């Protein structure tokens, strides 16, 4: 279940709980996040969809992939917001998705029956887990196999 820095953990946070947790852990981004949401309220919908796709079950060391991607995206938003609000929004979106794609590249989750999930399937990890009830319990028991190829795109 644990392969280098990326690992799987059972979690059942709603999007609102995940955002609240992120805000409390990474309060340095609080004002910029509020500014982003105030300027571009549709970002909430995009973040919800992003959260649903990557789920709250993939971690890089002790940080959820969602938190990791959101921090990197907020950093870019802050850098670009001094120049242009629309370039800042684009930098936020691009970073959010690019970081997730980079971290998930080559990652495969396999259940005890041999079925697997990867980013290439264009289905969310949560949907894949929910397709078979034993997968959630396997995740809780640490029985899902996580394999990551050693080659990542730069």
Distance in angstroms (rounded) separating the CA atoms of residues 51 and 43: 12
Contacts of 15 (CB under 8 A, 6+ apart): 47, 48, 51, 52
Stated as kind and residue range, the H or E segment containing 34 is helix 30-39
Give 46-77 pLDDT, tens digit per residue.
999 999 998 889 998 889 999 999 999 999 99
Q: Are 19 and 48 in contact (CB under 8 A)?
A: no
- What pTM was estimated for this model as a whole? 0.88
**Closest by CA position to 97, among listed 122, 126, 72, 132:** 72
pLDDT confidence of residue 154: 46
Stated as kind and residue range, the H or E segment containing 110 is strand 107-110
Q: How long a stretch of residues is the chain?
A: 154
Distance in angstroms (rounded) separating the CA atoms of residues 132 and 146: 17
Q: Are 50 and 60 in contact (CB under 8 A)?
A: no
Give 71-113 pLDDT, tens digit per residue.
999 999 999 998 999 999 999 999 999 999 999 998 999 999 9
């Amino acid at each position: 279940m644990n392969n280098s820095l990326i690992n799987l953990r059972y979690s059942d946070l709603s999007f609102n709980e995940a955002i609240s947790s992120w805000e409390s852990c990474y309060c340095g981004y609080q004002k910029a996040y509020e500014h982003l949401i105030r300027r571009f309220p549709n970002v909430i919908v995009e973040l919800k969809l992003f959260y649903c796709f990557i789920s709250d079950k993939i971690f890089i060391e002790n940080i959820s992939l969602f938190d990791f991607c959101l921090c990197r995206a907020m950093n870019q938003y802050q850098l670009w917001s001094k120049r242009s609000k629309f370039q800042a929004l684009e930098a936020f979106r691009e970073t959010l998705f690019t970081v997730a794609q980079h971290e998930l590249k080559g990652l495969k989750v396999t259940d005890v029956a041999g079925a697997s999930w990867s980013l290439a399937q264009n289905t969310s990890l949560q949907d894949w887990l929910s397709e078979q009830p034993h997968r959630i319990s396997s995740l809780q028991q640490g029985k899902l196999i996580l394999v990551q190829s050693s080659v990542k795109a730069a």
